[in-house]
Amino acid sequence: MVDHRLSEEHEALRESVQTFARKEVAPVIGDYYEREEFPYPLVQTMGRMGLFGLPVPEEHGGMGGDYFALCLALEELARVDSSVAITLEAGVSLGVMPIYRFGDDEQRRTWLPRLAAGEILGAFGLTEPGGGSDAGSTRTTAVLDGDEWVINGSKAFITNSGTDLTGLVTVTAVTGQKPNGGKEISTIIVPAGTPGFTVAKKYSKVGWNASDTHALSFDDCRVPAANLLGERGRGYAQFLATLTEGRVAIAAVGVGLAQGCVDECLRYLGEREAFGRKIGEYQAMQFKVADMELRAHTARLAYYDAASRMLRGEPYKKQAAIAKLASSNAAMDNARDATQIFGGYGFMNETPVGRFYRDAKILEIGEGTSEVQRMLIARELGLPA
């Protein structure tokens, strides 16, 4: 029997995050967004709520929940604001999970309790200035010198990498050459404040303006050899697994934005009048918002399916790509339609739909572009690489 109803625990979590988003995030996030300022009080509240530790076992300081719980929280946050949602998404899927999945006992003891509590944030240094989607073209290097790694190179577009809460960045780097001549890529933990590790000034972005994004550089940056995360030479496989898992989470963010557009339009359609009638009485508006609800609902089912397969231990690479593609399409289409429904007001940054419109585009790019998702789906269907 197929049943998409939430368990009592999941529903209670969803409701608590929804209340937080509507009562604490919604009234203040517009000001943070306009000032392009990181919302420290909101992030600290999310830490106290345990949201950064949702999928982490209690023995490591987490809430002992599952990855689907994280997705539900992300959807509710993104219904109100994507900057706050992406801070949590990146903090967990790209910051916490690599340490939890691939770290040794000492690394887990050192980092997971503080990460899970939201006391510090973790970042994932993958993308490079000339790499983009071609993550295998990594140029950052790490050379073993005695009992230290010496790291040189740069990273671009790294979320949560320059806040006052940032505690570490997990960096992919070339650590040697494989027997077949290819690059041996490994993953290394670099604590914030390490000499030789420089955080550039924050980017001026189109959207996600209340989230933190920086370029990073490493100039003879030395960290202990024990900071190697997982097995040497397995960094490429590790980040592929991290991104597959993260695509389910980013899909939840896209669904939240798409549903938030519906929420705002339903409110506006009941208030705004044109030609002597509420605009919600016009069939053209009704059909448009019906299509928006269709997109959000369909994308939600896609990420529910991917998450359920993940939790059952089944292959889910194709389903994660489908969920990510469907949700980013839904977010973009719904943001465009919501802006059209709001008219001139939708073009103003002071309205949520104005922010939604600016925030939606990056969902077609970050954590794997839409083109990459289509490529992955095609390969999973058996078509040639």
Rounded to whole angstroms, how far apart are CA atoms 301 and 161?
32
Evaluate whether 195 touches 148 at the Cβ level (below 8 Å). no
Residues near 283 by beta carbon (within 8 Å), at least 6 away in sequence: none
Rounded to whole angstroms, how far apart are CA atoms 143 and 232?
12
Active site residues: 367
Residues written for the chain: 385
Evaluate whether 80 touches 260 at the Cβ level (below 8 Å). yes
Residue 360, Ramachandran bin (φ over 0: left; ψ between -120 and 50: alpha; else beta) = alpha
Cβ-in-10-Å burial (0-12, 13-18, 19+) of 315 comes to exposed
Count other Cβ atoms within 10 Å, centred on residue 30.
Answer: 17
Residues near 343 by beta carbon (within 8 Å), at least 6 away in sequence: none
* φ, ψ (nearest 5 deg) of residue 22: -80, -35
Helix axis angle for 235-271 and 283-311, nearest 10°, is 150
